[in-house]
């Protein structure tokens, strides 16, 4: 197991390198100039050139890339052009908002998705199955930003149960944090909930038709024990793989949700940095997001050995 974890950690290095390189090149291919954002619309060409020289943007692209990677090897993600602070500090400061949103959404999606999938499978070909799967398909079809606006209209503006936007830190008020995160988390989770429900239903139907399930029923085991202890455990194996992929989708989906709900997270920070051509923020933010995604996928592979004892990573 230790050898497997070490090999997976090593394999993550080229992945992160490719992500950082593609991000670096794409930012320089996008039209726009950070110097004009700093100096303003009335700046002269001489002032713009002075800003580019100060930020070392007048150097060739390969020289800038080598300089950035040299700093990265020292753990330095660079300095924000507009925030005038280290990129690492700016990203880490907003990371708790994004991670709490993604984690809360993941918990909601997995919990309710699994329950709905099990319910649909155990009530196969009944109205419960049809209603559950119709709801799952509806959740897959709705755009996140539209569903978020609907939730704001009904539950924030109409009923006043939740705030329309903003963020309350957990340390300041746990209840306020929960109220500020509930609607964004539900909005982000609704699509993934539908995906999990459909997959669990399909996997459960396959497991419920296996010989070991029929044997357990023939022995007189309670229905709940057969469904949740035996069938569900094996049905969750493909869901674990999906959770690893879903983590990346949730981290990416936080960008839109943070804008809709005015959350001060990494996604909103990156959006603002793209608009203002603050290259170090974009590169550092995406690199840290990719690192989290790679780490989660390694953890998901390790979880296979817990859910399915047949899986071993001894190589």
Lowest mean pLDDT among 107-111, 121-125, 242-246: 242-246
Structure-block tokens of residue 313: 């990573």
Structure-block tokens of residue 221: 């085991």
Residue at 83 is within a domain:
no
Residue at 84 is within a domain:
no
Residues 48 and 169 in one domain: no
Residues 13 and 96 in one domain: no
Q: Give the separation between CA 194 and CA 186, rounded to whole angstroms.
A: 12
Residues 263 and 148 in one domain: yes
Using left for φ > 0, alpha for ψ between -120 and 50, and beta otherwise, residue 142 falls in: beta
Residue at 81 is within a domain:
no
Quick one: average pLDDT of 195-208?
Answer: 82
207-215: which pairs have CB atoms within 8 A and are 24 or more residues apart? Answer: 207/231, 207/232, 207/234, 207/235, 208/121, 208/122
Using the predicted structure, report yes or no on whether residue 48 has a pLDDT greater than 80. Answer: no
Quick one: average pLDDT of 141-148?
Answer: 82
Using the predicted structure, report yes or no on whether residue 266 has a pLDDT greater than 80. Answer: yes
Q: Give the separation between CA 21 and CA 34, rounded to whole angstroms.
A: 20
Using the predicted structure, report yes or no on whether residue 168 has a pLDDT greater than 60. Answer: yes
Residue at 215 is within a domain:
yes
- Domain count for the chain: 2
Residues 161 and 267 in one domain: yes
**What percent of the chain stands above pLDDT 70?**
91
Given this model, what pLDDT does residue 18 score? 83
Using the predicted structure, report yes or no on whether residue 267 has a pLDDT greater than 60. Answer: yes
Given this model, what pLDDT does residue 189 score? 87
Tens of pLDDT, residues 219-255: 777 777 777 766 777 777 777 777 777 777 777 778 8
Given this model, what pLDDT does residue 306 score? 65
Among the three residues 39, 73, 107, which one is the final residue of a domain in this structure?
73
Residues 174 and 289 in one domain: yes
Residues 46 and 124 in one domain: no
Residues 168 and 23 in one domain: no
Using the predicted structure, report yes or no on whether residue 269 has a pLDDT greater than 80. Answer: yes
Quick one: average pLDDT of 258-279?
Answer: 84
Residue at 78 is within a domain:
no
Q: Which residue has the higher pLDDT, 26 or 116?
A: 116
Residue at 46 is within a domain:
yes
Structure-block tokens of residue 185: 């988390």
Residues 120 and 18 in one domain: no
Given this model, what pLDDT does residue 89 score? 87
Q: Give the separation between CA 24 and CA 198, rounded to whole angstroms.
A: 38
Given this model, what pLDDT does residue 172 score? 85
Backbone φ and ψ for 86, nearest 5 degrees, come out as -60, 140
Q: What is the CATH number of the domain that holds 241?
A: 1.10.3720.10
Lowest mean pLDDT among 172-176, 209-213, 302-306: 302-306
Residues 63 and 97 in one domain: no
Quickly tell me which residue has 């799967």 as its tokens.
133
Of the pLDDT bands very low, low, confident and very high (cuts 50, 70, 90), residue 66 is: confident
- Of 102, 275, 296, give the one whose Cα is nearest residue 185: 102
Of the pLDDT bands very low, low, confident and very high (cuts 50, 70, 90), residue 193 is: confident
The length of the chain, given as a count of residues: 315
Residue at 86 is within a domain:
no
- Rounded to two decimals, the pTM is 0.78
**Residue 91 near residue 97, CB atoms below 8 Å:** no
Among the three residues 25, 42, 73, which one is the final residue of a domain in this structure?
73
Residue at 138 is within a domain:
yes
Query: Which structural domain range is residue 35 located in?
Result: 2-73
**Residue 68 near residue 283, CB atoms below 8 Å:** yes
Q: Give the separation between CA 225 and CA 223, rounded to whole angstroms.
A: 5
Residues 155 and 301 in one domain: yes
Lowest mean pLDDT among 3-12, 201-210, 282-291: 3-12
Backbone φ and ψ for 160, nearest 5 degrees, come out as 70, 20
Given this model, what pLDDT does residue 242 score? 77
Quick one: average pLDDT of 183-202?
Answer: 86
Average pLDDT of the chain, as a whole number: 80
Residues 157 and 47 in one domain: no
Residues 202 and 246 in one domain: yes
């Amino acid at each position: 197991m230790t050898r497997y974890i070490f090999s997976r950690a090593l394999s993550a290095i080229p992945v992160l390198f490719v992500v950082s390189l593609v991000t670096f090149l794409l930012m320089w291919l996008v039209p726009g100039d950070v110097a004009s954002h700093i100096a303003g619309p009335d700046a002269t060409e001489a002032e713009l050139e002075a800003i580019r020289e100060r930020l070392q943007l007048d150097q060739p692209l390969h020289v800038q890339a080598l300089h950035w990677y040299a700093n990265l090897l020292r753990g330095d993600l660079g300095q924000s052009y507009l925030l005038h602070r280290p990129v690492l500090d700016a990203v880490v400061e907003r990371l708790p908002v994004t991670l709490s949103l993604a984690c809360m959404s993941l918990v909601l999606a997995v919990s309710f998705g699994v329950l709905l999938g099990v319910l649909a499978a155990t009530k196969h070909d009944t109205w419960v199955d049809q209603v559950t799967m119709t709801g799952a398909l509806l959740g897959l079809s709705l755009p996140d930003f539209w569903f978020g606006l609907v939730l704001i209209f009904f539950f924030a503006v109409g009923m006043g149960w939740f705030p329309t936007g903003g963020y309350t830190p957990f340390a300041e008020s746990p209840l306020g944090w929960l109220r500020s995160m509930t609607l964004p988390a539900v909005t982000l989770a609704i699509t993934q909930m539908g995906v999990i429900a459909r997959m669990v239903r399909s996997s459960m139907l396959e497991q419920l038709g296996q010989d070991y399930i029929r044997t357990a029923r023939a022995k007189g085991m309670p229905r709940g024990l057969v469904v949740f202890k035996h069938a569900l455990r094996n049905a969750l194996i493909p869901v674990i793989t999906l959770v690893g992929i879903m983590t990346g989708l949730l981290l990416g989906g936080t960008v839109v949700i943070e804008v809709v709900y005015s959350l001060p997270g990494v996604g909103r920070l990156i959006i603002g940095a793209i608009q203002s051509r603050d290259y170090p923020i974009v590169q550092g933010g995406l690199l840290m997001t990719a690192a989290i995604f790679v780490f989660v996928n390694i953890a998901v592979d390790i979880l296979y050995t817990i859910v399915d004892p047949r899986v071993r990573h001894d190589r």
